[in-house]
Amino acid sequence: MLAMTDWPLTFKCNDNCISCINNTKVMSKTEDPPLWQAMAIIDSIDPKADYLGLSGGEPTMRKEFFDVLRHARERHPELYIFVVSNGRMFSYMDFARRLAGMGLGNFRVAVSLYSHRAETHDAITRAEGSFEQTTAGIRNLLELRVPTEVRTVINRLNYRELPEIAAFIAGEFPGIDRAVFMNMKITGNAYINREQVLVKISDVVPYAAKAARILRSKGMEARLYHFPLCTLPRDLWPLASGITKAEKEELTLVKACGRCKARKDCPEIWKSYACLAGDGEFKAVGNR
């Protein structure tokens, strides 16, 4: 039986993000996984599993979106379920109310927000008006008390804005469960557009650190995903420690990590990043 699973409900998306880990041109022409397969995957999850993650594409575009959620909850009453979404469909209050009315319990929606400015957000999604829909979707989810996370995937177009994004999140969405800033995997669209989106982690850290501290000063939970510990100030290590098990095969350590005292807690490095940006930023950490 499966200990956990991340499952794409659809390969279609109403955004076309320049930094997407999928090749959206290819994905848009790919048939969705059959419904029976999604249900079978859910049925095969171990009752003691860590979680079920539903993604895409954009999972809310799957016409059976609510049917899959209902089946997952009926089959696994206590399982943590999360949906990774661009949030746009939740800007339609009837759609958001339908989700809220399901009483899903141990559940969360993670909504991608790329900027505090429509100009930047829409430039990354390449979908005009997506910022307005995404922010409206987050507000609707919060109004309906649906557990919500806001996550910002970092790239060259938005990394300098991270403190402003944090301040925007704190001011506009104080009821969220947490805010996550994450370094991207360089595959799919991100690889195709790597000259536009790739940014060194060491360049990102000052802005990410300031953003995390802004959120913490407001009493909000912040997390930093895919930041090797050696790149961060030590007081921020608790926000970054640990590996997402489902992504383990896509992560790596480099030569310097062999001597590192923090490697067992490190989130490690995207293989795709190390191949493109090298390993000169990373260094062994000694004992405290």
Q: Say what the pLDDT of residue 64 is.
A: 97
Tens-digit pLDDT profile for residues 247-263: 788 999 999 999 999 99
**CA separation (Å) from 277 to 158, 274, 281?**
18, 5, 9
CA angle 44, 49, 54 (to 5 degrees): 70
Name the average pLDDT for the chain.
Answer: 94
Asked if residue 186 lies in contact with residue 200, where contact means CB atoms within 8 angstroms, the answer is no
Angle between helix 201-217 and helix 162-172 axes, rounded to 10 deg: 30
Partner residues linked to 199 by β-bridges: none
123 vs 245, residue with greater confidence: 123
Sequence length of the chain is 288
207, 258: one domain: no
| In-domain check, residue 57 | yes
286, 188: one domain: no
Tens-digit pLDDT profile for residues 39-95: 999 999 988 888 999 999 999 999 999 999 999 999 999 999 999 999 999 999 999
287, 203: one domain: no
| In-domain check, residue 232 | no
Asked if residue 56 lies in contact with residue 13, where contact means CB atoms within 8 angstroms, the answer is yes
Indicate the number of domains in the chain: 2
171, 283: one domain: no
188, 52: one domain: yes
Alpha-carbon dihedral 236, 242, 247, 250, rounded to 10 degrees: 70
Q: How many CB atoms lie within 10 A of CB 259?
A: 11
202, 103: one domain: yes
Q: Say what the pLDDT of residue 262 is.
A: 93
C-alpha closest to that of 211 among 73, 96, 83, 115 = 115
Asked if residue 221 lies in contact with residue 177, where contact means CB atoms within 8 angstroms, the answer is yes
Tens-digit pLDDT profile for residues 167-203: 999 999 999 999 999 999 999 999 999 999 999 999 9
Average pLDDT for residues 28-44, to the nearest whole number?
A: 91
Confidence of residue 4 (pLDDT cuts 50, 70, 90): low
Average pLDDT for residues 20-38, to the nearest whole number?
A: 90
Is 2's pLDDT higher than 60? no
| In-domain check, residue 88 | yes
| In-domain check, residue 237 | no
Q: Say what the pLDDT of residue 245 is.
A: 63
For 147, the domain range is: 5-225
Average pLDDT for residues 190-219, to the nearest whole number?
A: 97
132 vs 242, residue with greater confidence: 132
215, 130: one domain: yes
Q: Say what the pLDDT of residue 5 is.
A: 73
Tokens (6 digits) for 53: 């993650």
Tokens (6 digits) for 198: 């790739």
Asked if residue 114 lies in contact with residue 120, where contact means CB atoms within 8 angstroms, the answer is yes
Tens-digit pLDDT profile for residues 127-151: 999 999 999 999 999 999 999 999 9
Q: Where are the beta strands (DSSP E) in the chain?
A: 5-8, 52-55, 81-85, 107-112, 148-154, 178-183, 222-225, 251-252, 269-270
Phi first, then psi: give them for residue 175, nearest 5 degrees: -90, 5
Q: Say what the pLDDT of residue 209 is.
A: 98
220, 268: one domain: no
**CA separation (Å) from 282 to 157, 244, 260, 275?**
23, 20, 10, 13
CA–CA distance, 225 with 204 (Å, rounded to integer) = 12
